[in-house]
Amino acid sequence: MPILVMKFGGTSVATLDRIRRVAKRVGVEVAKGYDVIVIVSAMSGETNKLVGYVNETSELFDAREYDAIVSSGENVTAGLMALTLQEMDVPARSWQGWQVPVKTTNAHASARIEEIPPANILQKFEEGMKVAVVAGFQGISSEGRITTLGRGGSDTTAVAFAAAFEAERCDIYTDVDGVYTTDPRICEKARKLDKIAFEEMLELASLGAKVLQTRSVELAMRYKVKLRVLSSFEEQSDEAGTLVCDEEDIMESNVVAGVAYSRDEAKMTLVSVADRPGIAAAIFGPLAEAGINVDMIIQNISEDGRTDMTFSCPTDQVARAEKAIEGIKASGELNFSGVDIDQSVAKISIVGIGMRSHAGVASKMFKVLSNEGINIKVITTSEIKVSVLIERKYMELAVQSLHDAFELEKA
């Protein structure tokens, strides 16, 4: 039998009524002849509640116990889903990560999947089971402890299962009906895409789009897993949602596929740093060790042999970044006159595989922003994206203006 992987997020399984609705959808795929692997998240709000319990109990908690606690939300959903399917006379069984087993690294709260042996579930399919309901977001370490994959890890679980079981497709059900050219809440002209290339989706996910977790897209691209993003709350056809696939599977695409934004960005500048070999390593090595997610980097060199080093990071990491920078200065390894911090910026990005073969895309973006009186603070580019930092108060205007300028509402 062909295998289909279906993943349902927290809002899709938030209540027993929604679990029943999801179970009916799974039953439709079973009736089509699929053996189905269902990956479930915890019911909406449950993981936050469990994390709250942990923080209230222990400020400096043991990460192994943290994983044991927060993974329990998915276990509940998996059991309820299996029971619901059984009530519909669909042979189903719930599976926790250790039962599959989903083998992971030992990095608690941010583990990575190393292997998913398919033998146990395949044997149950051969014995007549039609649906394996797997608790997402979790696995088991080489030490035999429960691990979790980080927030959004159920997406990664789903793609990893699709790769391990050579599934025909991996359907990600969420509270939106696909991938849009930008956030419809900001731009009413935003259009749902029928198809998007893996590379485009990876850039959009990493630049602020919340539809798919970045690691799940990386896995899908590496193992050529066809992903479909669609809504749990609408009637579906075989053409519903957005298909995330190889570039070769898209006949024709716009130069720019979408506009992404990240609201909570900060710009930090080390002022008057000595310009010498190894200076970047001296700065960004300790920042990496402190877990700072540095994104955009720019260096301005002056005539007196000094330089200003600017980088961006999420606003919730500024305090840790400051502490790391203070440590660098205290060590005597680096001298600078001060640190300028701007926490009122946003990152705006345009993404599209068509940018590889079209000149002038970046200059058009800059002109559009200039015409709106929006000043660009930092610029970074890659083969298929251009990102800029601007004042946060202009974020929505920038998104709308760029969406209009590149005519993204047109198919």
Cα 332 to chain centroid, rounded: 38
Question: How many other C-beta atoms lie within 10 A of the C-beta of residue 289?
Answer: 10
Q: Is 18 annotated as a binding residue?
A: no
Q: Is 112 annotated as a binding residue?
A: no
346 phi, psi to nearest 5 deg:
-135, 155
- Token representation of residue 310: 């600017």
The C-alpha atoms of residue 90 and residue 154 are separated, in whole angstroms, by: 23
Q: Is 177 annotated as a binding residue?
A: no
Tell me the β-bridge partners of 304.
Answer: none
Q: Is 182 annotated as a binding residue?
A: no
Q: Is 34 annotated as a binding residue?
A: no
Nearest Cα to Cα of residue 64 among 151, 143, 152: 143
Buried b (16+ CB within 10 A) or exposed e, 354-393: bbeeeeebeebbeebbeeeebeebbebeeebbbbbbbebe
Q: Is 185 annotated as a binding residue?
A: yes
How would you class 325 by CB atoms within 10 Å of its CB: exposed for 0-12, middle for 13-18, buried for 19 or more?
buried
Question: How many other C-beta atoms lie within 10 A of the C-beta of residue 335?
Answer: 12
Kind and range of the H or E element at 4? strand 3-8
End-to-end CA distance of the chain: give it in Å, rounded.
36
Nearest Cα to Cα of residue 145 among 59, 53, 69: 69
Q: Is 385 annotated as a binding residue?
A: no
Q: Is 9 annotated as a binding residue?
A: yes
Q: Is 307 annotated as a binding residue?
A: no
Cα 117 to chain centroid, rounded: 25
258 phi, psi to nearest 5 deg:
-165, 165
173 within 8 A of 230, measured Cβ to Cβ: yes
Kind and range of the H or E element at 181? none
Q: Is 278 annotated as a binding residue?
A: no
Sheet holding 138-140, edge to edge: 113-115, 103-104, 138-140, 146-148
Q: Is 173 annotated as a binding residue?
A: no
180 within 8 A of 231, measured Cβ to Cβ: no
The C-alpha atoms of residue 93 and residue 75 are separated, in whole angstroms, by: 12
Cα 351 to chain centroid, rounded: 16
Q: Is 74 annotated as a binding residue?
A: yes
Going by the annotation, the residues of the binding site are 7-10, 47, 74, 174-175, 180, 185, 210-211
Going by the annotation, the residues of the binding site for ATP are 7-10, 174-175, 180, 185, 210-211
Going by the annotation, the residues of the binding site for substrate are 47, 74
